[in-house]
């Protein structure tokens, strides 16, 4: 226990990050058991340490990562019990999926140590999905997404920018854009974000970012997915092939027969693999509506989770139309419902019909439709129902 406490004190003494993610203010800390889910690399560890630094008393807080060698021979429940007996009130656990039987022991901690609050993360949303049934009555879930364009702007410019609801943005986008343009030129920064801005670790080294992101993709498949799916090596290679195919396509309407032939996976195995990749934070499935969607329902469109993944997997072969739609879907999926539109590209929150394109995109596909918008790339400021694409990065 003293070893863990000393390492925590040293970590906090060296911890300098002050830029808080959007989720920091949204977490209700009155709950005793809090789960923070999200893909590998989105900044969950930093968020835990910020909670420790800004919200919890240093003298009664402990952060530990459950892949620590200490837990090869020590029991999490006993550590929690001893920590509480010596005055501990807040236990922050990172990488819980790397600890055997974590779900059962968290349940025991919650039931038997009522004075101890636990906040935990997992790099694999897959394992949390499978284990929630044991903890669902006790646990409150939060999902940490990749950096929004707004958060990226704050890191790059040191200015603070407000987040807006979708309705606020649509009603007041001209004023919002004009105010922001007094501080920055959005288009060069937007172009940079599309290539390297989705994961906070881009700040460590921009030149090596794409190599690190490729390593992250490999770890998601070879470690996170393997931890719960037990796939064969050949299947992992086929999943990587599929990701590259999506990255280099126009907005991807999956032909399951051709994709099955290309990857060597059966139809059912292929659809299950797509859903596994979505849970891991690598792809996004879209449908025209939510009715009748089951485990073996093929998606009607398939996107990589963010444009950075497209650039690292397809490079300059990445399709610009696909990049635009991928950015839009990635930013809107945090707090909004997205379906495919029968007349345009997307239907958002079952209300707004959206057509996404370049600066020369016409309005003909949304003519006569109520609550319809054209979202254009390569423009700084819009007017009426024409809105710049970059502004949809201000939603969280």
d(CA 379, CA 388): 6
Q: What is the pLDDT of residue 291?
A: 62
d(CA 221, CA 116): 34
Report residue 96 as tokens: 């819980």
Q: Greater confidence, 232 or 171? A: 171
Q: What is the mean pLDDT of the chain?
A: 91
Q: Which H/E stretch holds residue 118? A: strand 117-122
Q: What is the pLDDT of residue 386?
A: 97
pLDDT confidence tier of residue 212, bands split at 50, 70 and 90: very high
Task: Tell me the residue ranges of DSSP E strands in 224-381.
Answer: 283-286, 301-304, 338-340, 346-348, 352-357, 372-376
Q: What is the DSSP letter of 194?
A: H
Q: Greater confidence, 127 or 358? A: 358
Q: Annotate 350-389 with DSSP letters as a single string.
A: TTEEEEEE-TT--SGGGTT-TTEEEEESS-S--BTTEEEG
Only one residue has tokens 């694409």, namely 389
Q: Which residues of the chain are in CATH 3.40.50.300 domains?
A: 2-143
Angle formed by the axes of helices 209-219 and 307-314, to 10°?
Answer: 100
Say if residue 162's pLDDT is above 90. yes
d(CA 76, CA 86): 16
Q: What is the pLDDT of residue 321?
A: 93
Only one residue has tokens 């670790």, namely 201
CATH code given to domain 2-143: 3.40.50.300
d(CA 214, CA 126): 20
Q: What is the pLDDT of residue 323?
A: 95
Q: What is the pTM of this model?
A: 0.91
């Amino acid at each position: 226990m003293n070893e863990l406490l000393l390492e925590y004190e040293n970590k906090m003494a060296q911890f300098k990050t002050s830029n808080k993610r959007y989720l920091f203010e949204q977490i209700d800390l009155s709950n005793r058991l809090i789960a923070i889910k999200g893909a590998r690399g989105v900044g969950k560890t930093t968020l835990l340490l910020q909670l420790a630094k800004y919200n919890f008393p240093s003298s009664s807080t402990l952060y530990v990562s459950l892949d620590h060698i200490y837990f090869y021979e020590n029991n999490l429940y006993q550590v929690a019990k001893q920590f509480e007996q010596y005055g501990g009130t807040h236990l922050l656990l990172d990488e819980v999926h790397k600890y055997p039987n974590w779900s059962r022991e968290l349940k025991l901690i919650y039931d038997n140590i009522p004075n101890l609050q636990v906040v935990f993360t997992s790099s694999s949303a897959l394992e949390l999905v499978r284990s929630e049934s044991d903890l669902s009555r006790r646990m409150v879930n939060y999902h940490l997404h990749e950096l929004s364009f707004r958060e990226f702007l704050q890191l790059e410019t040191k200015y603070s920018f407000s987040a807006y609801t979708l309705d606020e943005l649509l009603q007041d986008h001209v004023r919002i854009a004009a105010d922001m343009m007094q501080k920055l030129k959005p288009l060069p920064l937007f172009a940079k974000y599309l290539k390297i801005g989705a994961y906070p670790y881009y700040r460590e080294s921009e030149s090596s970012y794409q190599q690190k992101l490729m390593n992250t993709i490999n770890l998601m498949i070879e470690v996170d997915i393997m931890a719960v799916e037990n796939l064969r090596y050949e299947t992992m290679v086929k999943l990587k092939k599929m990701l590259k195919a999506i990255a280099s396509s126009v907005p991807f309407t999956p032909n399951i027969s051709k994709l099955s032939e290309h990857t060597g996976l059966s139809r059912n195995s292929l659809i299950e693999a797509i859903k596994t990749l979505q849970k891991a934070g690598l792809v996004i499935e879209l449908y025209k509506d939510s009715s009748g969607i089951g485990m073996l329902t093929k998606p009607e469109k398939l996107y990589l989770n963010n444009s950075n993944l497209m650039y690292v997997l397809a490079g300059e072969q990445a399709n610009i139309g696909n990049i635009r739609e991928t950015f839009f879907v990635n930013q809107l999926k945090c707090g909004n419902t997205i379906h495919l539109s029968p007349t345009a590209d997307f239907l958002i929150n079952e209300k707004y019909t959206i057509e996404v394109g370049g600066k020369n995109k016409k309005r003909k596909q949304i003519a006569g439709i109520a609550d319809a918008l054209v979202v254009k790339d390569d423009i700084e400021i819009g007017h009426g129902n024409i809105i710049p694409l970059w502004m949809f990065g201000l939603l969280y």
